[in-house]
Structure 1
Amino acid sequence: MSTTTLTQAPAPVSTFNSTPTPTTAAAPTHPPHGDVPTVINFHPPTTIDGAPPYLIVEDLQSNFSTIPHPVTIHDLRGLEADFNLDKQAFQPVLDVPSTEKDFTDDAKIEREYYPEITAILKKHVPGIEEVVIFDHTVRRAGPDAKRPPVMRAHIDQSVPASYQRIRRHLPAERAEEVIAAGTRVRIINVWRPIGGPVVDSPLGCADSRTVEEADVVPVRHILPDREGSTLGVKFREGQKWWYWSGMRDEEVLLIKCFDTDTVVGGGAEGRRGRTPHSAFVHPGTPAEKKGGRESIEVRCLVIG
């Protein structure tokens, strides 16, 4: 796409990252818990201009909107042992407190928090040889937040973008060696609440086995210095969504975005290789708690 085309693209649609209003209310609880009827914003059948979907990341300009759809999101609290990265493609981990509390200094996060993430992954994900952390995002809600919770169903990387990540974040010779040898590589997002328990805007994850390849759509991500791609997720009956109610600061959720292993980790059509996820409105959120969710996600190349 030329620069001219980008400047002539339609203005961003307000529903792209909008907060949906659930159609069914529930009695207020603190923190909200239990299975919940709500809505999730899904990828549309077509784009506004008929071109392949894209997002200009710097100003959130895109050629598509999202479509809110009612869903029931099931509570996995108490069922943690039933979930793992090779089955649903996400995995709750209990009792992993952090010495970092503020998450306001990026250098300190990299220096002190990154080693904690590496230790968590090596303890809870079998077979790891190496962990390469390539970035993190701190999300805080509110009208002036630069990185608020993402209120749309998506997967962080497409397959081509995942291979770009391997080549971008490993030394060139090592990257080609890993790819040529067929060494298992996963991209895992380690998600933790800050100032939990999570009351507002909890994170929902779809059981990847229930999401067909026809449900996911590549979305170009255009940055000032490069281009990548994510996957938008379309609604389909039969998808099953889960959340971990009242997540506390000493709990993390491992979210798998990519897996080169198509037998164990990918399964039929790679459906265990990636986790659709989205923040959502829990109708049981007390009014005084709305807009208060904070979290950090750390994205990692996991080799082996």
Structure 2
Amino acid sequence: MTHTIAATVRYLAPTWRYTDEIPVIADWATLTANTVEHMVPVHDAHQTECDVETTGFQRLPHTTTTDFRDPAAVEHSYLPEVADVVQRHTGADHVIATHHFARWGDPGDFEAGYAPFLHGDKPLADPAAYSWARVDHLDVPLDRARTWDFAWYNTWQPIDHPATRDPLTFIDARTVAPTDLHPYTYDGAGEQHQETVPSHSRAHRFYYFPDLPTDELVLFKQLDTRPGHTPTCLHSAITTPVAPMTPLRRSIEVRWLCAFHS
């Protein structure tokens, strides 16, 4: 059965499209001021060929017994498990988890809730410089005598029950033009950094995985220094039509730095 739904997503407000100024999106007030809503059709991703290096996102199997309420178990069990999944799928020589966050269902909290607008989690300007700066910051032991490429990925996996309510939607990366992408400043937990937000285009095609189960995850792209590879996969939480007692989505997301030597 094909599930195509109508959902509201937030894009960068048109006033920012033709300016060199960089908007701030960091709380409900700046979100409302600097983004606009659009109603879009969101298609069932099970009905199309998805690959992280073309569409920008892909569903993969992963079963875990990790107790996500135990931070030590996440660090010592879940992250190594998923690092193996990412390494096998991407062929990276090094895979490093740089950040993870478990969401327990608090949509009213801007920081801890569900991301309510379309975005990419990395800046797209000079991806090599950004990646090397993070390698140095994280003290990743790379042989500087070799040539390295970098790709950044996210993984997203439901916790406790399928992600029926408030799932993520992904824009097919093949439908996004470079001119659609703009930097914005996120100011979270007292730390400012740049990420990416799109302006609206009728060409964008949206997908989601209805009722994604707890034994699957989605791998999706954030940044890449390799030519010919998907540069980023824009995503957002969306509201879907569900039964009134459907539980809020619980999930864990991890950001991965992958290094490839040539």
Q: TM-score band (shorter)?
A: 0.7 to 0.9
Kindly tell me: are residues 218 and 110 of structure 1, through their superposed partners in 2, closer, same or farther at Cα, counting changes over 3 Å? same
Are the equivalent residues in 1 in contact too, given 2:43–2:207 (CA < 8 A)? yes
Aligned to 1:26: none
| SS of the residue 2:81 aligns to | helix
**Equivalent residues in 2 for 1:156-235, closer than 5 Å:** 156-160=121-125, 163-170=129-136, 177=144, 181=147, 183-222=148-187, 226-235=191-200
Q: Percent identity?
A: 23
The structure-2 alpha-carbon separation of the partners of 1:216 and 1:228, relative to structure 1 and needing over 3 Å to count, comes to same
Quick one: which of 78, 83, 86 aligns to 2:50? 83
How far the C-alpha of 1:172 sits from its partner, in A, is 5.9
Decide which of 294, 297, 300 is 2:250's aligned counterpart: 294
Matched, 1:153 2:118: yes
User: What one-letter code is carried by the residue in structure 2 that aligns with 1:90?
Assistant: F
Q: How does 1:96-115 map to 2 (within 5 A)?
A: 96-100=62-66, 102-115=67-80
- 1:285 paired to 2:204: no
User: Which structure would you say has the larger Rg?
Assistant: 1
1:275 — aligned with what? Answer: 233
Q: Give the counterpart letter for 1:53 in structure 2.
A: P
Q: CA deviation at 1:65?
A: 2.9
- Quote the residue 1:255 is aligned against: 220
- TM-score, normalising length from structure 2? 0.86
Tell me the CA shift for residue 159 of structure 1. 2.3
What does 1:13-52 align with in structure 2 at a 5 Å threshold? 34-46=3-15, 51-52=21-22
* CA displacement at 1:45 relative to structure 2: 1.4
Normalising by structure 1, report the TM-score: 0.75
Structure 2 residue matching 1:109: 3-state secondary structure: helix
Change (3 A) 1:143 1:297: closer
Whether the 8 Å contact between 1:166 and 1:175 is mirrored in structure 2 is no
In structure 1, what is the Cα distance between the partners aligned to 2:6 and 2:96? 38
Contact 2:184 2:196 in 1 (8 A): yes
Q: Which has the higher strand share?
A: 2
Instruction: Answer yes or no: is the 8 Å Cα contact 1:257–1:275 preserved in 2.
Output: yes
Displacement of 1:54: 1.8
Q: 1:194 Cα shift?
A: 0.8
Contact 2:173–2:232 (CA under 8 A) maintained in structure 1: yes
Counterpart-to-counterpart distance in 1, 2:101 and 2:107: 18
Deviation by residue 1:175-203 (Cα, 9 ceiling, x = unmatched): 6938x82x221100011011221111111
1:115-163 Cα shifts (integer Å, max 9, x gaps) = 01111112222x2111011110112223665511111100010124854
> Match of 2:34, SS?
coil
1:129 corresponds to 2:93 = yes
Distance 1:122 1:73 in 2: 30
Shift of 1:34: 0.5
Cα 1:37/1:195, change in 2 over 3 Å = same
2:96/2:257 contact within 8 Å kept: yes
1:140 counterpart = 2:104:
yes
Residues 144, 76 of structure 1: alpha-carbon distance in 2 compared, 3 angstrom cutoff:
closer
Q: Secondary structure at the match of 1:68?
A: strand
Deviation of the 1:222 alpha carbon: 3.6
Hey, what's the Cα distance between the residues in 2 that align with 1:154 and 1:118?
Answer: 24
Partners in 1 of 2:171 and 2:73 — Cα distance? 32
Query: Tell me, which stretches of 5 or more residues in structure 1 are unaligned?
Result: 1-31, 266-271
Greater shift in the superposed pair: 32-41 or 252-261? 32-41
- Matching residue's letter, 1:274: T
CA deviations 1:220-273 (Å, max 9, x no partner) are: 23457653210111211111111111100110000100011112x1xxxxxx21
Distance in 1 (CA, whole Å) between partners of 2:239 and 2:169 is 10
Please list every run of 5 or more consecutive structure 2 residues that lacks an aligned counterpart in the other structure: none
User: Are the counterparts in 1 of residues 2 and 47 from structure 2 also a CA contact under 8 Å?
Assistant: no
Contact 2:104 2:250 in 1 (8 A): yes
Contact 2:107–2:114 under 8 Å retained in 1:
no
* Change over 3 Å in CA distance of 1:190–1:220 after alignment to 2: same
Q: Which amino acid aligns with 1:286?
A: A
